[in-house]
A and B are shown apart, each in its own frame.
Chain A
């Protein structure tokens, strides 16, 4: 029943019905119902003519020719310089990965100990008497004891590892760095894909 979509309080077809009528998008029964109503209703005919004029004007809108071509040339294509990741996102991802790799490889970050003046790592710790001790390095004395309990209050200052990378913490340095780098690369890739598919 076409009147179910009409203005029920007035019995006139609403704008949506008139708009669909204009486009011939009504089912036969509704088309007939609206047509019969229009024959006897002057205000609805005026509304329909107004809509018809608006549509005619929109259809007469001049098509504007673009001032340039939008052909996709090499300059518009994404740069594939880094692992096929285009444009700025590729550069950002590459920079992030390099920074993370550098951080992971640094002695401070990897826990390889603080180098002494000769460049060899020095391990700092504390014995059972609360004495601060250092070991490693290449000086004439392999270890130096600093008297005075409580100076560092039982906290091991440093988690150094031998130069070989073996030791309590140095043994996990290489896998940890590689894992971090891999995660950074994966995160950059996922971020790029997400941004790309938002469009």
Chain B
């Protein structure tokens, strides 16, 4: 069933159809929240709140880009969380180590591969934590989630030029952070920095 049909059925009260949409988007929404707040527990709560909020407000969505609308609700939830908690902290490597999400993904993953993936996530998250919220959101949407400039602009309701500016400043800050963390990067990322 395509997205339009799932939306129509969800609006008609079909919880199964709505949960098909949830299944489709839960990983990207959770990852957006995780990269924005840097805490897996809070990211889970924010993702759940997002889908409940979407369900309650589905009648207000008529036409347009559902993905952009969904991500806007998630981004606003993250902003509210960061504002209310006044949290601006970096995710420690210890926390990542204890996080079961970063346990080896399969029995085929080597210990070296697991360590590399964990360190890479830690380096990226610490760099993202250093960015102002608007730059972090632009970087996460475009570079991590693969949004186009236009779609990212629709999510944050800003001109494309604003996204370009935030993205370039965020990338520049990430570049500086990665240069400083060069020894923690995989070999093929060390040379160019």
Contact = CB atoms under 8 A, between A and B. Distances in A.
Interface stretch (A33-41, A62-70, A170-178): A62-70
B165 A16 contact: yes
A73 B19 CA distance: 9
Most buried by B among A64, A65, A67: A64
Contacts of B50: 70
B120 A23 contact: no
A58 B22 contact: no
B48 to A, nearest CB: 5
Contacts of A1: none
Contacts, number: 127
B67 to A, nearest CB: 16
Nearest to A58: B143
Nearest to B18: A72
B48 A51 contact: no
Nearest to A62: B117
Nearest to A25: B149
Given A19-B167, A66-B44, A57 B101 contact: no
A20 B148 CA distance: 12
B171 A76 contact: no
Given A15-B171, A57-B124, A72-B15, A66 B47 contact: yes
Interface in A37-95: 49-73, 76-78, 86
B31 A64 contact: yes
B137 interface: no
Q: How large is the interface on B (under 10, 10 to 19, 20 to 34, 35 or more residues)?
A: 35 or more
B30 A64 contact: yes
A166 B156 CA distance: 61
A144 to B, nearest CB: 61
Interface in B124-162: 124, 139, 143-144, 146, 149
Interface string B84-119: 000000000000000011100000000000000100
A86 B56 CA distance: 9
A78 B56 contact: yes
A49 B191 CA distance: 10
A187 B48 CA distance: 28
B192 A70 contact: no
Nearest to A22: B171
A54 B27 contact: no
A197 B100 CA distance: 35
Contact of A15 (B31, B34, B124, B172): B172
Contacts of B15: 72-73, 77
A58 B76 contact: no
Contacts of A194: none
A64 B26 contact: no
Contact of B168 (A15, A57, A64, A71): A15
Contacts of A20: 164, 168
B27 A65 contact: yes
Interface of A: 14-16, 18-20, 23, 25, 49-73, 76-78, 86, 196-197, 199
Complex A-B, nearest 7 residue pairs according to Cβ-Cβ distance, in ascending order: A19-B168, A58-B143, A16-B168, A54-B175, A66-B30, A71-B19, A49-B192
26 contacts: A19-B168, A19-B172, A20-B168, A49-B192, A53-B189, A53-B193, A54-B174, A57-B174, A58-B174, A59-B146, A60-B120, A61-B121, A61-B124, A61-B144, A64-B102, A65-B27, A66-B47, A67-B44, A67-B100, A68-B44, A69-B26, A70-B44, A70-B47, A70-B51, A72-B19, A72-B52
